Structure 1
């Protein structure tokens, strides 16, 4: 049985590597320094002292985020210089996703040979639990002198500091939360008399109307190799897998004799598919062994051989029938922009346009900039007032419940997003360096720090369209846009996601015939491209299940489980009382 203190805030670790920057990074050199009124950390926090030194920030962010962080660094420097502590803040950025991963991997392997203190570590989650990264837990339980001396974590939304499921430690802090939505152009919808969809049937009706108007493939849902890996088919599929298999959180819920049971929360927890926060880790825990058993056991209603999975994939195939097998994410972006430009009088044929684009909220800033440049606006940025008249978005609707064995477990859809937009992690160096960096992060995650950060966007008139994770903080009006920005729940917290399509914790897991992710995606691609209405999922689902089962022993070895044989988790006498990870 686990203690409440150990996993009170536990959630799923996020595995998305990169998203397009909403609100950027470069180099800051300035003087910055000390902690509010205190110059040292407690022993519980690490025992270091805030003193003069250097903070190296290395993040995969854009030029605007770079300038925004410079604002924070300069403000912090000015304040701390008055306290007699001089700190140099260097900021480096990378806009090459794979290059950044390689660089951070090298940094964590040989930290004494490379500079870098504040980084994005969810790109290299293999270093969680190795001692290479600082666990934020004790620091979050300390006071933040830059926010009325309140306990730091009480000033942040829970998603700002999600706990890693595997290690039960906190390695990432997030300023903002993302969400996947459906974008459209308001003028185009009005031109073709399209109602903004509010449910599945009205979404299909809207797409049918657009096709009748002349759009060849009106839906921006790419299912090329990149789309099947992540952006954007897989992202959309994850949302619907959570709808269909929401009850996994009930079947995997910790029971009184389980190793994972926490009496303070599990005694009172009740399953409620209608509650988008039902599996929030502050009031819920699950047993990893129960997840494996529920997915892989004979006759499971959760795996790819189930009637529910077949029904979900039939609906996914219906969606891609409004898209094109030639679409990549870059092509979809271009065609959605052309749709917006056509609404402004530019000449683009309907066959080269996308009318509905499924992507995350941070795309809004990219769209604002692209249109601003194409339309020759000042500073290359479309004014928010004009953007608001053009760009709209709506939440993806739930797939229909037609009853029977294929019916989804829930009637609501939880978005995909959460705190995966460039979270901050801290390389574990000496105690004084940790104390200094932590003090800077406390300043950043304060009303003053957020004001300094968003000042740059105010000056540009550049929109910031994600949920802020600092409680009681309101985005400046100059960077805000009307529309739904706050979404309750996150599909990635469902433990089902561990084995949804492939081994999402490590996409490199191998089966005897090749990489599991590649093999599974090949099956999905063949199904989506095949003729027919999608009623022939059974053989594809069986193949995917076998691929997953074949790769389990390698996954178990990577995860360092006690038992590598799948039978240990699916036999008649499964051991739920022993933690397979310890």
Structure 2
């Protein structure tokens, strides 16, 4: 039986938020050993990053002590060009010694060429008292139930949260808000006390891929929860699984109700719903969302300066702004930065030095829920499992050895070894591990004590219409640029909410055909959504 859901962290900024341990260090790759006597050689070729090499070598050493017949080679690769290198491994043979990789960057080249972990999921683990997938939060893994494949092991939790200066909140006499109206009230009181309430980036990159884009998705999700009833897999659909889908019922009160292991979704049905006008980007719910966003931005985020802000951290660190938006990894970054200041070192963010840093007590609060017409459920956030460890498929005997190593890595002992060794060498963890019973250093564990996981909004097609029109195979930049332009005009007071809604709908309709083409979905597919899309 799986661990109780109360332990779940429900944590992909859709596979895009690769942070913390994924930051490159430009290490030069060395040729990996291919033989070691009669030993099996397992080669780890994931991306390099601060503390990553130390962490992986610690795990390798601990594993080899238990398994003297295996030689684990840690050969980390630079992040720059990693995707091209990895795709070459799968398409051209590349480095034939390669085993463990960050498989999310392999694209379609991995198809049929990577180990399917589902074949090993229910096997007893030598490194725990049960089966392999009882060692960690299996339900947060991305499993293709239609094809019966699971090729990426993700054990890091990532959560987007609001971070605040506890000292300023205490001085002003305010508490972390739970609703959007309370959020507006807190911001006004902070401004009246002489502080800039929020420090959040407001440039194009923010609206496209980070902070404002996150908020657009998080709050659109409050308005689209019931659409799961339209684009869920229905009986007769190519992706319908009676063991999963037959008894599923929609429950907006349960933030984990639509997790991927509970219900299958059919993207073709989502596209059809948009074309038929059933999935409306200019709904009353979206009116509520953007009316509320305009109560806060840009007024409480620096006024006109908000749109020119590329980094919200400096003002927050300087004690000039009381609240910022970031991932939970900021808690560890802040701790490390304060230690640097204490030892006389400079600190930077996004390669820019931060002057006048103030030390303060830092806290977090989750997304305040919006209320009003079209709001269907409490706010969730972006909570994803990160890591995406996959393995190149070889012969069965070798594959079993590789999986055995990953069983150790994903045990409490293996992950504890990894994290503790890495932290000593600058590894920044993004949040609590998805591996059960991992003991973190006390000064790190305390940072995450206040986190509460409230569900991931990036599931199914719930945020499909939140920003510009995207596709299942990447964003459409021209559509996102339009989204930024009319959002800028609206938030700066040049247009009305009616103008924003009309522009948003026109934008998505304009790029709908391109999105379908990039997603491999045709008009014929929309007429037969029960069939797997052919693009023909």
Note whether the superposition's TM-score is higher than 0.5: yes
Partner Cα distance (2:504, 2:492) in 1: 15
- The answer to whether the 8 Å contact 2:180/2:292 transfers is no
Partner Cα distance (2:391, 2:96) in 1: 14
Residue among 59, 62, 66 paired with 1:79 = 66
Q: Which stretch shows the higher mean deviation, 232-241 or 107-116?
A: 107-116
| 1:109–1:89 Cα change, 3 Å | same
| 1:522–1:247 Cα change, 3 Å | same
Residue among 541, 550, 565 paired with 2:513 = 550
Structure 1 residue 452 and structure 2 residue 417: aligned?
yes
1:492 shift after superposition: 1.2
Residues 156-555 of structure 1 aligned to structure 2 (within 5 Å):
156-164=136-144, 168-216=148-196, 218-298=197-277, 300=278, 302-321=279-298, 322-323=300-301, 324-328=306-310, 331-339=311-319, 353-376=320-343, 390-401=361-372, 403=373, 407-410=374-377, 412-420=378-386, 422-456=387-421, 464=429, 466-482=431-447, 483-501=449-467, 502-509=469-476, 515-531=478-494, 534-555=497-518
Partner Cα distance (1:377, 1:461) in 2: 17
Partner Cα distance (1:426, 1:389) in 2: 43
- The answer to whether the 8 Å contact 2:43/2:72 transfers is yes
Paired residue secondary structure (2:308)? coil
1:22 shift after superposition: 9.4
| 1:518–1:136 Cα change, 3 Å | farther
User: What TM-score, normalized to structure 2?
Assistant: 0.83
Q: List alignment gaps of at least 5 residues for structure 2.
A: 1-10, 348-357
1:450 shift after superposition: 1.9
Q: List alignment gaps of at least 5 residues for structure 1.
A: 1-10, 35-49, 340-352, 381-386
Partner Cα distance (2:67, 2:204) in 1: 49
In the other structure, the counterpart of 2:355 is: none
- The answer to whether the 8 Å contact 2:382/2:457 transfers is yes
Partner Cα distance (1:498, 1:465) in 2: 26
| 1:94–1:461 Cα change, 3 Å | closer
Structure 1 residue 53 and structure 2 residue 41: aligned?
yes
Partner Cα distance (1:204, 1:146) in 2: 50
Partner Cα distance (2:199, 2:35) in 1: 47
- The answer to whether the 8 Å contact 1:56/1:91 transfers is yes
Partner Cα distance (1:29, 1:105) in 2: 18
1:76 shift after superposition: 1.2
Partner Cα distance (2:195, 2:227) in 1: 39
- The answer to whether the 8 Å contact 1:239/1:415 transfers is yes
Residue among 121, 144, 149 paired with 1:140 = 121
Paired residue secondary structure (2:463)? helix
Give CA deviations for 1:385-424 in whole Å, capped at 9, x if unaligned: xx997110000111122x3xxx2121x111202102x331
| 1:113–1:287 Cα change, 3 Å | closer
User: What TM-score, normalized to structure 1?
Assistant: 0.77
In the other structure, the counterpart of 1:68 is: 55
In the other structure, the counterpart of 2:352 is: none
Partner Cα distance (2:164, 2:500) in 1: 31
Structure 1 residue 155 and structure 2 residue 135: aligned?
yes
Structure 1 residue 578 and structure 2 residue 531: aligned?
yes
| 1:318–1:541 Cα change, 3 Å | same
Paired residue secondary structure (2:263)? coil
| 1:265–1:190 Cα change, 3 Å | same
Paired residue secondary structure (1:104)? helix
Paired residue secondary structure (1:143)? coil
- The answer to whether the 8 Å contact 1:463/1:480 transfers is no
1:548 shift after superposition: 2.9
- The answer to whether the 8 Å contact 2:40/2:398 transfers is no
- The answer to whether the 8 Å contact 1:308/1:408 transfers is yes
1:183 shift after superposition: 0.2
Paired residue secondary structure (1:131)? coil
| 1:33–1:247 Cα change, 3 Å | farther
- The answer to whether the 8 Å contact 1:33/1:86 transfers is no
Count of aligned pairs: 506
1:138 shift after superposition: 0.7
1:579 shift after superposition: 2.8
| 1:355–1:107 Cα change, 3 Å | farther
1:494 shift after superposition: 3.6
- The answer to whether the 8 Å contact 2:32/2:97 transfers is no
Partner Cα distance (1:196, 1:549) in 2: 40
1:432 shift after superposition: 4.8
What root-mean-square deviation, in Å, do the aligned CA atoms of Structure 1 and Structure 2 show?
3.6
